Amino acid sequence: EVQLVESGGGLVQPGGALRLSCAASGFTFSTYSMNWVRQAPGKGLEWVSYISSSSSTIYYADSVKGRFTISRDNAKNSLYLQMNSLRDEDTAVYYCARSSGPFDDWGQGTLVTVSS
């Protein structure tokens, strides 16, 4: 069974930083591309970032480019999102999602709250 478990969310002040993790199990992590998707309270889904299986290709949404960094450690079956210079509008539940083109499986999400 595919499992994706996010962690690292919490309350942070504007301008602060946070690192999210996504622990993967139940599949061969190193062969799948991965994504981060977020959902602000009461709002829709917003794709944030993509990383290919070998980390050779990375994409970001314009809204986070230059502030967020996606990475992965295939030896640890883990995906990361380093979030710097956080803004109020980054407040959201952050999901990791496995993709083989379409998004196949999602984690349960971790809540990031940016507030003073």
Partner 1 sequence: DIQMTQSPSSLSASVGDRVTITCRASQGISNFLAWFQQKPGKAPKSLIYAASSLQSGVPSKFSGSGSGTDFTLTISSLQPEDFATYYCQQYNSYPRTFGQGTKVEIK
Query: Of 7-15, 21-29, 73-81, 106-114, which segment contacts partner 1 by CB under 8 A?
Result: 106-114
> What whole-number distance in Å separates Cα of residue 51 and Cα of residue 71?
7
Alpha carbon distances (Å) from 13 to 1, 17, 72, 114: 37, 8, 26, 5
Query: Rule CB under 8 A: which of 24-83 touch partner 1?
Result: 35, 37, 44-47, 50, 59, 61-62
Q: How many residues bind partner 1 (CB under 8 A)?
A: 21
Three-state secondary structure call for residue 101: coil
The verdict on 23 binding partner 1 (CB under 8 A) reads no
> What whole-number distance in Å separates Cα of residue 39 and Cα of residue 43?
6
The minimum distance between CB 70 and partner 1, in angstroms, equals 13
Give, for 3, the enclosing helix (H) or strand (E): strand 3-7
Residue number, 16 or 69, with CB nearest to partner 1: 69
Three-state secondary structure call for residue 8: coil
Query: Of 8-16, 66-74, 81-89, 95-103, which segment contacts partner 1 by CB under 8 A?
Result: 95-103
Given the rule CB under 8 A, which residues bind partner 1? 35, 37, 44-47, 50, 59, 61-62, 95, 99, 101-109
